[in-house]
Structure 1
């Protein structure tokens, strides 16, 4: 079975809610704190605790500023009669390039950096659109503040740590009315949220409640993480995480996150193709890496002969429909092609689950795949094979077969145990 993350945003979504929900699902706090301690910014402290909202227990991720005030959680500032000068107490204005430099230097995986960078790029594009400025000239205010940087990087680290590449995001429920920001009083949904939803195929649902329930940070994280907005017809819930928000509103401010599994099912994918005849091998190899970082499911090149008998390559990319625009952006930026063909199609996947096993050489991981309970296959994870090869100085094929056999035997014992228990 394939494990997926489902974010249920019926009470809104914000950066701290996302981080808290992922921590509640089991993201490693030590990995998170190591990344946050490595940031080249100061003036903040982090507290992870348990709270109750509407009688439900949830995880709370709080960023406390050592200087200034977090206006994002200040109801008097957002909706009250706070004086105009309070509006000027801002904790940091940064351009996108400065934030990308902070991310690049952080102690986090490449995938986590990619998620965080994509989130801030989505925010920058939305703010640029709202203010009529080029992306590189956008001055982040609330979003460029320390607490928002910490929220986004923390969410990226936690998602990467959970190792759930498929993320389903529900409708984003937002309120109505007006809210105060650095530029004055603006309508809800705020312009950045509206632009993010429009640019990234997010579905907004406006309820009849006053107030902002979807923050720009929350919307950007939803857009950066999402691979689908459609739940499988049937699925099993493996684990539930609850993330608490800080604002006191009519709705409880809870983001529910679930790890779910689904049987093999038909899903929609996109295939992109383009012919390239004037790129170096190094360029194409780098392009493949960037496509995978952007969320591609598969990438490959085929040698072809093009018009005028010129040798070239056919680039093929498989991705989810939600990632289509990201794939085109990478292809146009990194290669010399001037056109990309793309089509949407159906794909049937075998159910897959990763299982930790023990072998004569130590622990390893096997991917078990089957189709409707039949045609079962066992595939040792490449990293497990190479790790044992290096540690034990054994040939790759030998280690592969040993792990594969151990996986088959472990599955048989597990299945037999289930039958006996019944």
Structure 2
């Protein structure tokens, strides 16, 4: 059964707050410290845990006090430390993704390659402990997917290695932009989201918005370092997919209905020893291991991509000038729409009309609805919450005889393989015009180059190049 983590960040997110929430949610401190030893940094820091109160609410506080300074570390140094630390594969993948995203943001801010970004002695060691420790905790808790709330921007200034910086710090602002994070002001002028916290959220969380439907099992409370006008606590909600539980309950009810009274048989049979064995067996280590066996006893192929919630907005229009539709597409995509499309329909009194459909996230629902009311003649919009399965997406640039073309890849997992490869239209069109050749010829060359690259290696998720943002890809 899928386990979900929701980061509730009403006062922001930082690496030490994540660690506090992880420990509060149940991971033993002894086990966390034992696994962190694999990094070989024990002489560089002191790990302190305290139970504190923020506005009279109890939470767990973690402090990483630095001792022996290592000096500057670059991204390759940090990658090497993580890769040789004998960590679980998923922890390695998550940790590398976080540091690569953080390095890419810093690189964009400073105008240098990501490999040249150096993590200062003030931040390199504690960032490593924060990131790897958080990933270890999420792995120990058995988390399958993560969602984060919208993030507060904070305000004021913060002291950094090169002087004082405005809040949000430039790297945090870049991480917000790259991940298209919904942000807002809660009126608190402090640094609320640190670069490490932002990188954890934007690298691990599949979406930003309200809590997903789940059955809540645990709550971890990680304290921030300062007292604020509201409780400075990161709340980590851990639960299981509510839809899956409903499906299982229905299946159990139907299965039991076919048996005589007194014998309770579920997907996981009830035995006299008192242990319940389900599709994902419950073990003494506290983790739920999801095997998903089918009735024939076979283990099906894992589903590519991930599931997320989207909102479908619909309205019929029969009195709107056609010129407005093209403009409407642009403003809806600017408001965060994932996809917009129209269908021809017949309406009352035999009037021809269109059915306008907008697909968006819950975080952008209000903005898209506002555009529909402002730019069309509609008097009402229907809203439906849906679940969709989507591939992970990343971009690569490939070289062709006509020039470089950006390729959008749809990945089964964040580490590959690539299931879909699609050249960017505008690049192909511009090259076709410049070279005086057909657009299809450029597209075919780009696909061939991408396929050749794909046969050599999987396409792990990598941050976009600093030179610009790729357009969002529609897809219902």
After TM superposition, the score normalised by the length of structure 2 is 0.53
Secondary structure in structure 1 of the residue aligned to 2:87: coil
190-199 or 264-273: bigger deviation: 264-273
The answer on 1:344 being equivalent to 2:475 is yes
The answer on 1:20 being equivalent to 2:20 is yes
Q: Give the conservation status (yes or no) of the 8 Å contact 1:268–1:344.
A: no
Aligned position for 2:4: 4
The answer on 1:262 being equivalent to 2:393 is no
Q: Give the conservation status (yes or no) of the 8 Å contact 1:95–1:144.
A: no
The answer on 1:178 being equivalent to 2:157 is yes
Choose from 87, 102, 106 the match for 2:85. 106
Secondary structure in structure 2 of the residue aligned to 1:63: strand
Query: What displacement does 1:273 show?
Result: 12
**Unpaired segments ≥5 residues, structure 1:** 69-90, 275-287, 302-306, 318-324, 333-340, 346-422
| Cα distance, 1:111–1:273 mapped onto 2, change above 3 Å | closer
In 2, the alpha carbon distance for the partners of 1:193 and 1:237 equals 30
Query: What displacement does 1:108 show?
Result: 1.2
In 1, the alpha carbon distance for the partners of 2:242 and 2:49 equals 31
Query: What displacement does 1:46 show?
Result: 1.3
Q: Give the conservation status (yes or no) of the 8 Å contact 1:6–1:257.
A: yes
Q: Give the conservation status (yes or no) of the 8 Å contact 1:28–1:161.
A: no
In 2, the alpha carbon distance for the partners of 1:259 and 1:187 equals 33
Aligned position for 2:147: 168
More helix by share: 1
Query: What displacement does 1:328 show?
Result: 7.7
Query: What displacement does 1:344 show?
Result: 2.5
CA deviation string 1:300-334 (max 9, x = no partner):
79xxxxx9xxx9x999x9xxxxxxx965879x9xx
Aligned position for 1:197: 176
Q: Give the conservation status (yes or no) of the 8 Å contact 1:270–1:342.
A: no
Aligned position for 1:59: 60
Q: Give the conservation status (yes or no) of the 8 Å contact 2:5–2:238.
A: yes
Aligned position for 2:414: 294
Query: What displacement does 1:232 show?
Result: 5.8
In 2, the alpha carbon distance for the partners of 1:18 and 1:234 equals 22
Secondary structure in structure 2 of the residue aligned to 1:247: coil
In 2, the alpha carbon distance for the partners of 1:299 and 1:134 equals 25
Q: Give the conservation status (yes or no) of the 8 Å contact 1:143–1:149.
A: no
In 2, the alpha carbon distance for the partners of 1:258 and 1:202 equals 19
10-19 or 56-65: bigger deviation: 56-65
Query: What displacement does 1:67 show?
Result: 4.4
Query: Residues 125-144 of structure 1 correspond to what in structure 2 (within 5 A)?
Result: 125-141=104-120, 144=123
**Unpaired segments ≥5 residues, structure 2:** 245-308, 310-385, 396-408, 421-443, 466-471
| Cα distance, 1:8–1:142 mapped onto 2, change above 3 Å | farther
After TM superposition, the score normalised by the length of structure 1 is 0.59
| Cα distance, 1:233–1:178 mapped onto 2, change above 3 Å | closer
In 1, the alpha carbon distance for the partners of 2:117 and 2:58 equals 39
In 2, the alpha carbon distance for the partners of 1:232 and 1:12 equals 16
Aligned position for 2:128: 149
| Cα distance, 1:2–1:104 mapped onto 2, change above 3 Å | closer
Q: Give the conservation status (yes or no) of the 8 Å contact 1:173–1:204.
A: yes
Aligned position for 1:237: 216
CA deviation string 1:182-231 (max 9, x = no partner):
11111111101000011122222223222111100000000111012244
Q: Give the conservation status (yes or no) of the 8 Å contact 2:104–2:463.
A: no
The answer on 1:252 being equivalent to 2:250 is no
Query: Residues 218-233 of structure 1 correspond to what in structure 2 (within 5 A)?
Result: 218-231=197-210
The answer on 1:122 being equivalent to 2:101 is yes
Which runs of at least 4 in structure 1 moved beyond 6 Å after TM superposition? 298-301
Number of matched residues?
288
In 1, the alpha carbon distance for the partners of 2:148 and 2:6 equals 6
Question: Greater RCO between the two (CA within 8 Å, min separation 6)?
Answer: 1
Query: What displacement does 1:28 show?
Result: 4.2
Query: Residues 312-323 of structure 1 correspond to what in structure 2 (within 5 A)?
Result: none
Q: Give the conservation status (yes or no) of the 8 Å contact 2:101–2:199.
A: yes
| Cα distance, 1:95–1:110 mapped onto 2, change above 3 Å | same
Q: Give the conservation status (yes or no) of the 8 Å contact 1:49–1:61.
A: yes
